[in-house]
A and B are shown apart, each in its own frame.
Chain A
Amino acid sequence: MAADKLETIRAPDSTSHIEVRNISIGYGSFVVMKDINFAVGRKEIFIIMGGSGSGKSTLLRTLLGLLEPAAGEVLYNGESFTRADPDQRLRMLRRFGVTYQSGALWSSMTLAENVALPLSEYTNLSPAEIREVASLKLAMVGLKGFEDFYPAQISGGMQKRAGLARAIALDPEVLFFDEPSAGLDPITSRRLDDLILELRDSLGSTVMVVTHELASIFAIGDDSVLLDGESRTPIAYGNPRQLRDHSADPRVRSFLTRGEPPAGSVQDRG
């Protein structure tokens, strides 16, 4: 079934920051998802949604080069990431910031050291300056004073924020989030959403978020793709709120309303 194109897929033009062309992803010979096409404009928050096991995180890993796509290519700023040689890739990776599901902080280092590592590798700052920038980044995510804590000593929500501080250490052009609200309580998750919006506005980064948290999706998403595990293809592209209210595909509406009829459209369900 053809993907539901409510807001027609943004035509790739000079303003699109990330472009995904005909990507097929999978492990070995097992195809998880095929025919994925989308373009993300600058400063947009793009959501990759889908049920559990539909390949959201696999798609993210492919966008980051941790997995090679079975077909198709990924472009950043019109430059192919998939076909780039290792040096070019490294150059492009330096402009990314990634936060992982579990935080993925290096457990043998303190929070400050975690944030400082990319700074010491990629800038010419002195150790004192690095320490200062690291403290500032931790303060930006609300972790001022926790510089010398080890990841195991802080809570899961704090680990996620510390991971975000590390991701924004180098003022990335693209920020990736893998399930930012997984395992967080509603309030913490809401604060993280606000933080994402704030960072997008202040850093001017393009943001890619993998999530199935509906509240987050509607709160921050400008544009989105919905992956369907059963048909192994994307079934909808567009603004999540518009998809929820106007999509013609019952699968899309049902995903975005938790299978419940939205208020005022009960008659839809017959």
Chain B
Amino acid sequence: MPETRTDSSPADTPNAVSGTPAATQGSSSAAEDSAVLFEREDDILAIRLLGTWSLDAGLPSTADLERELANGPAPKRIVFDTTELGAWDSALVTFVAKAGQLCRAKGIPIDRSRLPAGLMRLLQLAEAVPEARDVRTVAAAPGLLTRLGQIGIGYGGSLREALTFLGEFGMAFGSMLRGRARYQVSDLALIIQQCGANALGIVSLISFLVGVILAFMGAVQLQKVGAQIFVANLVAIGMVREMGAMMTAIIMSGRTGAAFAAQLGTMKVTQEIDALQTMGLSPMEFLVVPRVVALVLMMPLLCAYSDFLGIMGGAAVGSVMLHLPLFGYLDTSLHAVDLTSLFGGLFKAATYGVLIALAGCLRGFQSGSSSSAVGDAATSAVVTSIVLVVVACGIFAVIFNILGL
């Protein structure tokens, strides 16, 4: 009792070109589409493969075979009939492999001897090496407590790493002060140029605009009570005490901190750091010390420059929008600021410089050995240094308040 069912249109393929894995033409014509027919004869289930099998037409499913096997008594043997099979590619290989798995799971022997020779070879290739066990990591979802613990251990580890880094830097810095650190003066000069002079443009722009914004916001409020001239005090004190150092620090985090992390990360990938170490040169002395020194020297200078440009930005708003005399404005600004505020701001800038340089270098050293890891290192250098700068700013505010400065 032969029972016949079709997947798609009953394909009529007169020229069966078995054994040539080639998708000759697009399977656009419906007559060439692949089809699977099932025929039962006694205990044998024959799977008839028809038409052109191409990946372009999508992967045929083995659901029909499963249904066929579930229907009626289990056959004793399964054979393939490929007399009407056209051209085929990996679509057919995948189908036969899946069918094989299905039958093996049900314990039905499958006879593949009538399949095209090329297909047999491909199947043998795929089945030659048994599936590697214990390779796929079993993603057993850890419990909440486990995860909390792992996060805690992770933070503990990175804290210890950071402290080790800090300690090593302290020792390297000490030997630099004693004139025993090995680094190249030309390197230091180059870094000073990169993080000092080359940053002037962006610092000018941002600082001037911050001065303008401060003045503008103040002006709108102070005009209401006729106290426009106090805009000068507001901008001068704001820039010199806080904003100058803060804005410079944020610019330098994005500009120089990221650059440090990327440089050191790349040097790690290309084994340049290994080369330093095996040459007996400490990467801490050779790479980190000059970077920290350069940034500590440059940050106060950039900060003073930023203070000046911020006040000029305020003066621009004052004279254009509030019609205040320029020299009167600048004179008021000068009297508003005392040396304590100025040096307080510069000291903060130097501190931020240490934090940015150390964060950048630490993240660079922690970088993994791939191009994406270097990108991650740069990103996390920026995030870390901005967080450190803002936290330090808060701590400074408290300390300065206690000291009454």
A interface, CB within 8 angstroms of B? 61, 64-66, 90, 93-94, 96, 98, 100-108, 117-118, 121-122, 163, 166, 176
Contact = CB atoms under 8 A, between A and B. Distances in A.
B280 A90 contact: yes
A35 to B, nearest CB: 23
A117 B287 CA distance: 14
A93 B280 contact: yes
Given A104-B270, A104-B272, A108-B187, A64 B278 contact: yes
Contact of B275 (A65, A106, A108, A121): A106
A66 B278 contact: yes
Instruction: Report the 10 A-B pairs with minimum CB-CB distance, sorted nearest first.
Output: A104-B271, A104-B275, A100-B271, A93-B280, A98-B278, A90-B280, A64-B278, A104-B272, A106-B272, A118-B279
A104 B274 contact: yes
A98 B277 CA distance: 10
Nearest to B187: A108
Given A90-B280, A94-B280, A121-B281, A107 B275 contact: no
Interface in B261-276: 266-267, 270-272, 274-276
Interface in B228-280: 266-267, 270-272, 274-280
A106 B267 CA distance: 8
A96 B278 contact: yes
Interface of B: 182, 184, 187, 190, 266-267, 270-272, 274-281
A107 B270 contact: yes
Contacts of A106: 267, 272, 275-276
B275 A93 contact: no
Given A93-B280, A104-B270, 13 more contacts: A64-B274, A65-B277, A90-B280, A93-B278, A96-B278, A104-B275, A106-B276, A107-B267, A108-B187, A117-B184, A117-B281, A118-B279, A163-B275
Main secondary structure of the interface of B (DSSP, over half): helix
Contacts of A122: 280
A98 B278 CA distance: 7
Contacts of B182: 121
13 contacts: A65-B277, A93-B280, A96-B278, A100-B271, A104-B275, A105-B272, A107-B267, A107-B270, A108-B187, A117-B281, A121-B182, A163-B275, A166-B275
A82 to B, nearest CB: 15
Nearest to A90: B280
Nearest to A170: B279
A15 B76 CA distance: 73
Given A108-B187, A121-B182, A100 B280 contact: no
B160 to A, nearest CB: 15
Contacts of B281: 117, 121
Contacts of B270: 102-104, 107
Contacts of A103: 270
A183 B46 CA distance: 52
A65 B280 CA distance: 11
Contacts of B274: 61, 64, 66, 98, 100, 104
Contact of A98 (B184, B187, B275): B275
Contacts of B190: 108
Counting chain A CB atoms within 10 Å of each CB, the highest count among B182, B184, B271, B279 belongs to B279
B272 A107 contact: yes
Contacts of B271: 100-102, 104
A201 to B, nearest CB: 24
A121 B279 CA distance: 10
Nearest to B275: A104
Contacts of A66: 274, 277-278
A96 B280 CA distance: 10
Nearest to A106: B272
A65 B276 CA distance: 12
Contacts of A105: 272, 275
A222 B155 CA distance: 49
A121 B278 CA distance: 13
Contacts of A90: 280
Contact of A93 (B266, B267, B279): B279
A107 B182 CA distance: 18
B287 to A, nearest CB: 10
A218 B267 CA distance: 33
Contact of A100 (B184, B187, B266, B275): B275
A209 to B, nearest CB: 16
B333 to A, nearest CB: 42
A169 B267 CA distance: 21
Contacts of A98: 274-275, 278-279
A118 B184 CA distance: 12
Nearest to B190: A108
A163 B277 CA distance: 15
A98 B276 CA distance: 10
B68 to A, nearest CB: 43
A219 to B, nearest CB: 25
B274 to A, nearest CB: 6
A103 B267 CA distance: 12
